[in-house]
Amino acid sequence: MSEVVRKRVVVSGHVQGVFFRDSTRREAARRGVSGWVCNRRHGAVEAVFEGPVAEVEAMVEFCSSGPRGADVDRVAASDEEPEGLAGFEVR
């Protein structure tokens, strides 16, 4: 069984109002990654990803470009201890 990791990302730029959260949810479901994504107060998007190392890294990479219409300036990622999340939700 592959190692499960968890990353928290904060994505800055023009990332709200461009279906970033729903696109992230669909990509996570496709990759079998658990977690959540939400808009932050000052225009950023925050997400937590849990799953196999390669799939979580792919989600962080996805966030570096986002969906069409997004203009990502910065992705800040940090490692956290996995919590055993199941499923992926938009908050």
Give me the catalytic one of 39, 41, 68, 74. 39
Alpha helices in 1-91 (DSSP H): 20-31, 53-65
CB half-sphere exposure, 88, CA atoms < 13 A:
23
3-state secondary structure at position 16: coil
User: How do beta strands 34-39 and 45-52 pair?
Assistant: antiparallel
For the question of residue 39 being annotated catalytic, the response is yes
For the question of residue 21 being annotated catalytic, the response is yes
The residue type at 78? S
Give me the catalytic one of 21, 31, 41, 74. 21
Q: Give the residue numbers annotated as catalytic, written as ranges.
A: 21, 39
